[in-house]
A and B are shown apart, each in its own frame.
Chain A
């Protein structure tokens, strides 16, 4: 198994709060890796490190041989051309049409002719099932369509890595399943490395080749789906079986939990 990204001893803080506590794992190349974990476990924070939006306190993130944790803006700009990101709310620019949103990375990084660009935009939109929506504005699209447009934009430069932050968040189960299928289809059609952050188990079983589980800032598991199913780690079993934590009854206990000790 060839490694695409290697994360070594990643520690990060928001202010004084340690959010990721010495996280280490590898992401295999050309596969779909799902980063799984409950709310607040640090999934989005980890993702933001992988796409260079946050720098860790200590630790390394090795991608294509370089450590992106210590790269400067210029060096990282080269890496940026090779990564596409679908943000949780799709993050399309509302002032631009769908086509112009998809064109953004092309206009910034390539010298393509306008006509070539239009052809490429149409191809990307075809790929995500949005042909004919070029001139729509994001506000005219449904949640699922926005995410599809977001995927088209993320794929604009044919990246080597495609990141998804909670692709099914805020979608009904049918639309979410449609998105899972799209991810599967893209994964079969392109030789890209997919990294998907989610807490939706049905989605995990459908799309994952490899799973990393975060729990309160620790990576408690990294392995294949079968290994995940066979795991006897208590937190993982709770997650898989959808069991709740011990109920909290007294306000003092609750306060202790939200205060974090």
Chain B
């Protein structure tokens, strides 16, 4: 019989080993992905352009409706919540500042990332995972085709382009939502509202949001691919890994958000 201490340390040890192996595998994947995305094209192994465009359509274009609707609603909600506080101090026009700044710096990137993690991060994991369980990854390897170059790189490029693009759309539509509510329900002057938004926003707000979006895109791609490649069994595990990819990427997106927000707060 194992003693309690043995069981306890055994448990810690096994989990530590699993964690380190996970980190090791993930860094290997990150290394290889960036190598095949940015270094090997310089050595005459170009990325797959058609596949990349196809991924861009799936990741970006197809997400535009849902991102727009959610951004519109969040813009309205933000305007209402801000008005609730600002009404008391009679500074309703500052609704424009709050809506503009919190959307561009924070809410648009994170909302977009969460939507895309749910739509595309999960589908990356499911696609790669089912290819793994159908031996399609093995088939690529035996044909001498690197699965990371073939599958992950087009997704990475698509994400790095489309997540910032979607975030810009969310910025715009969200601000539009706040504007619509302010000029109707809150009876603010449309011209003043626009002026106020323009004055409140500096380029830096928008750019920091887009930098975050770029980082979130990388995180979502890597997590989806990592979970997909981890599939060993059949359909059941594909399902489990797909779920895990969404949970992990949302978690990591928020961790990175915290990191970047602190960075921008203290150093900018």
A binds B: yes
Interface of A toward B, CB cutoff 8 Å: 48, 51-53, 77, 80-81, 83, 85, 87-89, 91-94, 104-105, 108-109, 153
Point out the residue from B136, B141, B142 that lies within 8 Å of A93, measured CB to CB: B136
Residue numbers in A under 8 Å from B136 (CB-CB): 91-94
Residue numbers in B under 8 Å from A77 (CB-CB): 144
Residue numbers in B under 8 Å from A109 (CB-CB): 144
Point out the residue from B135, B138, B139, B143 that lies within 8 Å of A108, measured CB to CB: B143
7 closest Cβ contacts across the A-B interface?
A91-B139, A87-B135, A91-B135, A80-B144, A105-B143, A91-B136, A85-B142
**In the complex the two chains form, is A53's CB within 8 Å of B144's CB?**
no
Q: List 23 A-B contacts (CB under 8 A).
A: A51-B142, A52-B142, A53-B138, A53-B141, A80-B142, A80-B144, A81-B144, A87-B135, A87-B138, A88-B135, A89-B135, A91-B135, A91-B136, A91-B138, A93-B136, A93-B140, A104-B143, A104-B145, A105-B144, A105-B145, A108-B143, A108-B144, A153-B143
Q: How far is the CB of A130 from chain B (nearest CB, A)?
A: 18
Residue numbers in B under 8 Å from A51 (CB-CB): 142
Residue numbers in A under 8 Å from B144 (CB-CB): 77, 80-81, 105, 108-109
Tell me, yes or no, whether B235 is within 8 Å of chain A by CB.
no
Residue numbers in A under 8 Å from B138 (CB-CB): 48, 53, 87, 91
Tell me if B's interface is mostly helix, strand, loop or mixed.
helix
Interface size class of chain B, counting residues whose CB lies under 8 Å from the partner chain: 10 to 19
Residue numbers in A under 8 Å from B140 (CB-CB): 93
Which residues 117-145 of B sit at the A interface, judged by CB distance below 8 A? Answer: 131, 134-136, 138-145
- Which residue in chain A gives the minimum CB-CB distance to B54? A95
**In the complex the two chains form, is B145's CB within 8 Å of A108's CB?**
yes
Please, how many angstroms separate the alpha-carbon atoms of A105 and B150 in the complex?
Answer: 12
Q: How far is the CB of B100 from chain A (nearest CB, A)?
A: 41
Point out the residue from A48, A80, A88 that lies within 8 Å of B143, measured CB to CB: A80
Q: How far is the CB of B150 from chain A (nearest CB, A)?
A: 9
Please, how many angstroms separate the alpha-carbon atoms of A91 and B144 in the complex?
Answer: 15
Q: How far is the CB of A48 from chain B (nearest CB, A)?
A: 8
Which residues 125-178 of B sit at the A interface, judged by CB distance below 8 A? Answer: 131, 134-136, 138-145
- 0/1 interface trace, chain B 65-88, chain A, CB 8 Å (1 if under): 000000000000000000000000
Residue numbers in A under 8 Å from B131 (CB-CB): 93
- Which residue in chain B gives the minimum CB-CB distance to A48? B138
Q: How far is the CB of A197 from chain B (nearest CB, A)?
A: 13
Residue numbers in B under 8 Å from A53 (CB-CB): 138, 141-142
Residue numbers in B under 8 Å from A94 (CB-CB): 136
Please, how many angstroms separate the alpha-carbon atoms of A53 and B145 in the complex?
Answer: 13
Please, how many angstroms separate the alpha-carbon atoms of A87 and B140 in the complex?
Answer: 11
